[in-house]
Structure 1
Amino acid sequence: MTWQAWATVVVIATAMALFASEKVRIDLVALMTLAVLVILGIVSPVEALSGFSNEATVTVAAMFALSLGIERSGALEPLSRLLMKIRQPWLLTLAVMLVIAPLGAFIKNIALVATFLPLVLRVCQRTHTSPARVLMPMAYAAQMGGVCTLIGTSSNLLADSLAQKQGLLPIGVFEMTPLGAVLGVAGIVYLMLVGRWLLPAHIDTQLPEELEIGKYVTELELTADSPLIGKMIADAQLGEKFGVYPLELLRGERRMWSPRSQQLAAGDVLLVRGDWDKIEEFRRGAKLRNAPELHYAHGDERPRVLTEMIVAPGSSIEGRRFLESGIGWRYNATLLAIHRRGVVLRDKLSDVSLAVGDVLMVLVDEDSMSKLRGEEAFIVLTEREDAHRTPRKALVAVAIMAAVVLISGMHWLPIPIAAICGATAMALTGCFGRKDVYEGIDWKIIILLGAILPLGLAIEKTGLSTTVVQLGMGLVGDHGPLAALLMIYLLTALLTELMGHNPSVVLMVGIAVSVAHAVHADARPFVVAVAFAAATSFATPVGYPTNTMVYYAGGYRFTDFMKVGIPLILMFCALSMWLIPHFWPFHPLQ
């Protein structure tokens, strides 16, 4: 191989490691990859920018807007109210999957899960069902639905766009529907008959007034009449009496890292950790005040409510402090506590940089709750209200989405143009506000797509794809196109779990087409295999955003996804090896 090919290998390996580690945002990893490829001269500046004008990138941005219109217009509210009537846990799981899967074919999966997550948590609380029995199947159903149409997920659009650059004909909007429907039905049957026995049986995850997501960290200030004044923290036995554990003592600007030996005084602030109801019991009994509320609240007497919310995947406030997010002054919101899975926070709340999956306990003006539920940065874990939503807007949004699907499906307009026209129509008819569309688009995904696409060009230009194909064919041997198809599917599935669905598509489409040519088969079934393997990421909580959302909200362990997801992936793989050649023959008749 040439030095450019070796350099591309190093770039890919580094990007994969960064994607898998999640220590750097995915859009920044893509931009870093793009910058290195240009600096090394592997791709030209024109080629480097070509990803941002790619049809897939434009279409995904427009589909984000269309999904936002469906969500904000209240079109999903009737389904939500229907689910609220279900009392049987197994029936709730089945109903959620049967609702989510068809909708996932046309609506952004993250928006779907964000809409139904608070509802499912509330129903689980009322029926005494562990949310872990329902949330993972819900996330999986969203993925199963997304793969059923070309516009259901960004990786499908990306695979089609890259395949066209390889000389293949465009994939139809509903061309993948027969295979996706069969896999979806098989997946739902598996989750109901087998997966339910692999899911955790008892995980307590309920809403703030009854239970809590986990161990929160908060700040409590000693008042002048607190019985703790003059005592040492060790003598107060907070853990034994209240189940609350002191982490740090803040006295003015001083931070005392070993607080147990310190004598408490009025005005001291304790950084404590515990379940929220125990923290509240301790606060009342010891006559303490919520320090964040004291310092940051506006001081008026407007009605305020306690709410719990999760920092959503792709959130604009990831890596920023709560005060920097603007949530506080926009909604008169006061951050009272933070829970971060697997980590004991030891910084003041005002100094904590928020991360995806953080659960925040926030005090908010009651009048601001409806607006707060519209924030894309958070998922509010309470029932969603239908304030400011009218049946007319819901009908208009559904009609516009149906028109986009029909027009693009009948090839009257190219998909990107139809999607842009649909997004414009939703804006003009008031399905979402003027600023909502910019806030609702996940710009990280758009930047990721635009910046990562030139990596596929680098793989082709340097001859790296040819080398990979030769190595792969050495493993496949003379076992024919089906063995080669199996190799492509499994390799794509593995890469997806490591680095996400869109980067894996960029790496694999060109290789899949080359492998097809090497075994003298039509390339279309190989591209379809890449699309399906990338869009059905079940084995880890980080392979797909919907998995990440339910991972935090459902209190799962990493291994829970492996136990349920790996058999599901293998089942999908086996069915795909049987069905793909039937729907897309290796040697189609001319």
Structure 2
Amino acid sequence: MPVEFQMLLTFIVLGGVFLAFIKEWLPNDLVALCGLAILLGTGVLSDSDLGEIFSNPAPMTIGAMFILAESLTRTGAIDWIAHRFEKWAGNSLTRAVIILALIVVPLSAFMNNTPVVIVFLPVLMSFARSTGLKASKLLIPLSFLSILGGTITLIGTSTNLLVSGLSKQQGQPAFGIFEISGLGLVYAAVGSCYLFFIGRHLLPDRDTVSSLLDAEDTRKFVSAVEIPYASPLIGESLIAHPLFSNRKRTIVYEVLRHGLRVENIPLDAITLEERDVLLFRATSKQLAEIQAAKGVVMIHRKSNLTESGAEQAEEVKTVEAIIGPQSQLIGRSVRQSNIRRRYGIVVAAVHRKGTNLREGYQDVKLAFGDTLLLEGPVQSIMKLSQEGSFLSLNEALMQPHLKSKVFTAIAILAAVVLVSALGILSITSAAVIGAVMVVLTGCLEIRKAYQAIEWNVLFLIYGMLGVGLAMKNTGGAEWVAMNVIGLMPDSGPLVILAAIYFLSFVLTELVTNNAVAILMTPIAISIAASMEVDPRPFLVAIMFAASASFITPIGYQTNTYVYGAGGYRFSDFLKVGVPLSLILWLTSVLLIPRFWPF
């Protein structure tokens, strides 16, 4: 196959991959692997190229860092720090933002920022409820500060490791773990100051999905009633009846008919019949109202209740929960997921793209970042949470920590950083050894270690490494580099640096940051070679720009997590993120050449 045709085919595959990313036709990792499969099937990439893709050390390093980060979460190291936040912040929003920056930025410098955000989310939600502050004033700063912290060290974010690994494969000197720290500290300081003095005043004062609850719903109970012979409720619609309407906040979990669950009829379509048994959630006041009502008989025998094992007057809980990126609920509606029948849990509301849905949400396809309001027995909610279907925003449902191992986990991470900083071992070797050690020392179970690895991220990286290698092998990267220079023939390296940074951070808002880092790295190296300058400034620009996702809630995973939890709209990220992105762009363009001369 002629090289020119291979280049054209590579660009077609690249365009298709980017379009699929933007349109979200398929999961990003599957899209990237499809691109890799096409390039292998058409002969653009060979078996030896496949070996080169999987020999890249970056994915192995990233996987090991996922395990190290999970060990800190599992032992409670991050949780202990997070809970100091409530004590130090007091009741002041101003102090809360300052303390948040002082904690989150350093933490994110040495571990993946996603677990930092996951641990802090329920802490900040609890803080907002106890102080009367709105969570929407805190959650965007949480995500943005974690992103800023990730730029301080090489291990702070996966994009840094990817750019370093790719550049080393192309003959460039390896990046040290603290080589980017000088610029990263300035970058984080500038971003933090913006959030404190300007950004926090642009944040909305908005309710979260939990605000849909009535103020009196502080304690809820599961109970059951039977429809007796000649009851006036026979023939009436279940949901329409005043006793069990959503307006009264009395939520029916299950209907038993002839001793069996009513499986084939949605709750909102059930017409009551004689001897029907209803299992429902209500407050103590509503229980008294139902007990005094005509047409129903309270059931007091455990044997008459459903298979869920819920006992008479069992206290239930209402929690906010975020759909995670690997949740089994993604792509299924509330009705299709059968959460109510399988777990005895009711989905009372859904937050989606800035809107709190109370009606008509049963048939909405759930997606990563959706926030659900769940109501049900505590044990049932904990079971569903432990299966990884969602992230609870209620601290009471957090898993117990292995506190006796906390100092072991911290010491292992510190050793990984130290030996790689001193050049005793590469960051890949140190991270892999550290990941093994946290399992051997009992900081993390082997099963939890495998679960901690975000395999979709790794497969996305491998797929995009294939597309990036095809760009290099076919001359596509060099062709793009020459055309970029041709568009700005009289421009110096500083202008090209500004263009590379700008293009990288814009693309990051449209597609995944790892894909942008992989594609831009060979292009930057080709541009530097054509201009006969050092490529290092361009590579650093890609590291920072590919992490600088502040404009949309979909460009970076932490933004997606806080999107639903904070009750945000898409426009909120634009309002706060656009000025921050432009300020950091200017900061980077001015300072990168001072740290890494052309």
Q: TM-score range by the shorter chain?
A: 0.7 to 0.9
Query: CA offsets per residue over residues 15-65 of structure 1, 9 Å max, x none?
Result: 112222334211111111111111121111332354333200100010000
Instruction: Identify if the C-alpha distance between structure 1 residues 438 and 284 changes in structure 2 by more than 3 Å, giving closer, same or farther.
Output: farther
Instruction: Identify if the C-alpha distance between structure 1 residues 368 and 525 changes in structure 2 by more than 3 Å, giving closer, same or farther.
Output: same
Instruction: Identify if the C-alpha distance between structure 1 residues 281 and 8 changes in structure 2 by more than 3 Å, giving closer, same or farther.
Output: farther
Alignment of 1:456-467 (within 5 A): 456-467=468-479
Say yes or no: does 1:97 pair with 2:110. no
Instruction: Identify if the C-alpha distance between structure 1 residues 222 and 526 changes in structure 2 by more than 3 Å, giving closer, same or farther.
Output: farther
Matched with 1:202 is 206
Cα distance in 2 for residues equivalent to 1:379 and 1:258: 28
Matched with 2:9 is 7
Query: Percent identity at matched positions?
Result: 35
Distance apart, 1:499 and its partner CA: 0.6
**Paired residues, number:** 563
Cα distance in 1 for residues equivalent to 2:272 and 2:378: 33
CA contact (8 A) 1:43 1:458 kept: yes
Cα distance in 2 for residues equivalent to 1:567 and 1:267: 63
Which of residues 560, 565, 570 in structure 1 aligns to 2:582? 570
Which of residues 183, 186, 189 in structure 1 aligns to 2:187? 183
Cα distance in 2 for residues equivalent to 1:159 and 1:103: 22
Instruction: Identify if the C-alpha distance between structure 1 residues 296 and 534 changes in structure 2 by more than 3 Å, giving closer, same or farther.
Output: farther
Distance apart, 1:545 and its partner CA: 0.2
Cα distance in 2 for residues equivalent to 1:385 and 1:347: 25
Matched with 1:46 is 48
Say yes or no: does 1:61 pair with 2:63. yes
Alignment of 1:261-272 (within 5 A): none
Alignment of 1:504-519 (within 5 A): 504-519=516-531
Instruction: Identify if the C-alpha distance between structure 1 residues 206 and 460 changes in structure 2 by more than 3 Å, giving closer, same or farther.
Output: same
Matched with 2:344 is 334
CA contact (8 A) 2:464 2:518 kept: yes
Distance apart, 1:393 and its partner CA: 1.0
Instruction: Identify if the C-alpha distance between structure 1 residues 188 and 301 changes in structure 2 by more than 3 Å, giving closer, same or farther.
Output: same
- Local SS of the residue matching 1:363: strand
Distance apart, 1:540 and its partner CA: 0.4
Say yes or no: does 1:540 pair with 2:542. no
Matched with 1:145 is 149
CA contact (8 A) 2:58 2:165 kept: yes
CA contact (8 A) 1:315 1:356 kept: no
Cα distance in 1 for residues equivalent to 2:128 and 2:437: 37
Cα distance in 2 for residues equivalent to 1:428 and 1:93: 38
AA of the residue aligned to 1:363 = G
Distance apart, 1:2 and its partner CA: 2.2
Instruction: Identify if the C-alpha distance between structure 1 residues 83 and 206 changes in structure 2 by more than 3 Å, giving closer, same or farther.
Output: farther
Matched with 1:273 is none
Which of residues 300, 306, 309 in structure 2 aligns to 1:298? 309
Alignment of 1:286-435 (within 5 A): 297-299=308-310, 305-306=316-317, 307-315=319-327, 318-319=330-331, 333-337=343-347, 339-341=350-352, 355-359=368-372, 361-366=374-379, 369=382, 376-383=388-395, 389=401, 391-435=403-447
Cα distance in 2 for residues equivalent to 1:336 and 1:368: 10
Range with greater deviation from structure 2 (427-436 or 498-507): 427-436
Matched with 1:523 is 535
Cα distance in 1 for residues equivalent to 2:28 and 2:277: 37
Cα distance in 1 for residues equivalent to 2:21 and 2:288: 42
CA contact (8 A) 1:400 1:425 kept: yes
Range with greater deviation from structure 2 (401-410 or 384-393): 384-393
Cα distance in 1 for residues equivalent to 2:328 and 2:48: 29
**Normalization by structure 1: what TM-score?**
0.84
Matched with 2:301 is none
Distance apart, 1:140 and its partner CA: 0.5
Instruction: Identify if the C-alpha distance between structure 1 residues 453 and 240 changes in structure 2 by more than 3 Å, giving closer, same or farther.
Output: closer
Matched with 2:219 is none
Distance apart, 1:412 and its partner CA: 0.3
Query: CA offsets per residue over residues 559-586 of structure 1, 9 Å max, x none?
Result: 1111111111111100001100000000
CA contact (8 A) 1:48 1:451 kept: no
AA of the residue aligned to 1:335 = I
Distance apart, 1:315 and its partner CA: 3.8
Say yes or no: does 1:502 pair with 2:514. yes
AA of the residue aligned to 1:436 = K
Which of residues 163, 166, 170 in structure 1 aligns to 2:174? 170
AA of the residue aligned to 1:447 = F
Which structure 1 segments of 5+ residues have no match? 213-219, 271-275
AA of the residue aligned to 1:43 = L
Instruction: Identify if the C-alpha distance between structure 1 residues 299 and 39 changes in structure 2 by more than 3 Å, giving closer, same or farther.
Output: same
Cα distance in 2 for residues equivalent to 1:101 and 1:108: 11
AA of the residue aligned to 2:227 = A
Distance apart, 1:241 and its partner CA: 5.9
Say yes or no: does 1:580 pair with 2:592. yes
Instruction: Identify if the C-alpha distance between structure 1 residues 584 and 339 changes in structure 2 by more than 3 Å, giving closer, same or farther.
Output: same
Cα distance in 2 for residues equivalent to 1:340 and 1:305: 21
AA of the residue aligned to 2:13 = V
Distance apart, 1:318 and its partner CA: 3.5
Instruction: Identify if the C-alpha distance between structure 1 residues 87 and 488 changes in structure 2 by more than 3 Å, giving closer, same or farther.
Output: same
- Local SS of the residue matching 1:479: coil
Q: Which has the larger radius of gyration?
A: 2
Matched with 1:216 is none
Say yes or no: does 1:133 pair with 2:144. no
Instruction: Identify if the C-alpha distance between structure 1 residues 97 and 492 changes in structure 2 by more than 3 Å, giving closer, same or farther.
Output: same
Cα distance in 1 for residues equivalent to 2:163 and 2:439: 29
- Local SS of the residue matching 1:105: helix
Cα distance in 1 for residues equivalent to 2:268 and 2:328: 35
Cα distance in 1 for residues equivalent to 2:453 and 2:134: 32
- Local SS of the residue matching 2:172: coil
Matched with 1:224 is 227
Instruction: Identify if the C-alpha distance between structure 1 residues 569 and 267 changes in structure 2 by more than 3 Å, giving closer, same or farther.
Output: farther
CA contact (8 A) 1:207 1:382 kept: no
AA of the residue aligned to 2:67 = A
Range with greater deviation from structure 2 (165-174 or 311-320): 311-320
CA contact (8 A) 1:121 1:131 kept: yes
Instruction: Identify if the C-alpha distance between structure 1 residues 102 and 208 changes in structure 2 by more than 3 Å, giving closer, same or farther.
Output: farther
Distance apart, 1:319 and its partner CA: 4.1
Alignment of 1:225-240 (within 5 A): 229-231=234-236
Which of residues 73, 76, 83 in structure 1 aligns to 2:75? 73
Query: CA offsets per residue over residues 222-258 of structure 1, 9 Å max, x none?
Result: 9626876545699869999659999xx9996766899
Cα distance in 2 for residues equivalent to 1:88 and 1:406: 37
Say yes or no: does 1:439 pair with 2:441. no
